Amino acid sequence: MTAQTALLAFTATAALLTITPGLDTALVLRTAAAEGARRAMLAALGIAFGCLGWGLLVGAGLGALLAASHLAYEVLRWSGALYLMYLGIKLIRAPRASIELSAGDRADRPNWLLRGFLTNMLNPKVGVFYVSFLPQFIPAGANVLGWSVLLAMIHNLLGLAWFAALVLSTRPLLAWLRKPGTLPWLDRLTGTVFVAFGLRLALEARR
């Protein structure tokens, strides 16, 4: 496979994977609807940094360790599951009554860039996926680390474009979200989804 063919094939495949709904999509949509476009794109950027981090780790060999080591996979799997359940329980127990429109900074605001990054990096499926997916598009004899980072960056660009489209589509929801009772319901629903994702990750046997 030539370099050009590899890049075209990866871009086409990654584009299909990008638009497949998953936890990252749910996080960005929820943040855009409840917190606004800026914070949603910060979460999306955090997810992109997470993908880049996985690309670096796969290129450096940690992805192979996750695929081969049951203990390493289990530690990361449980860390990710507990983190997701923590986020979900927090949303369920303390939903907000209204949307905060103030542009001022507050110390208790979540760091959406960090949250997006951790949501992605603490999902071992991303690591196992990258270690099984990226090598198929690295030409023979090419620099593995360099190509892993390049492919991860292509995946990131596709993801950011998709997330931007999702963020723009949430604008008509703002009027609906301002109705009394809507935001607490959305927070509790999102929290339930996050807990479900965490439980599924915790209970799912490794394949």
Note the pLDDT tens digit of each residue in 142-159.
888 888 889 999 999 999
Q: Decide which of 117 and 17 is more confident.
A: 117
Predicted pLDDT at 103: 39
Tell me how far CA of residue 152 lies from CA of 13, 26, 148, 158, in angstroms: 13, 21, 6, 10
The pair of structure tokens assigned to 41 is 């794109």
Q: Domain residues of the chain, as ranges?
A: 3-11+22-74+112-177
- Locate 202 and state its tokens: 């915790």
Give 167-179 pLDDT, tens digit per residue. 888 766 566 666 7
- Global confidence as pTM: 0.71
Confidence band, pLDDT 50/70/90 cuts, at residue 3: confident
Q: Are 193 and 26 in contact (CB under 8 A)?
A: yes
Q: Which helix (H) or strand (E) holds 66?
A: helix 62-68
Cα-to-chain-centroid distance, residue 182: 25
Coil, strand or helix: which one is 79?
Answer: helix
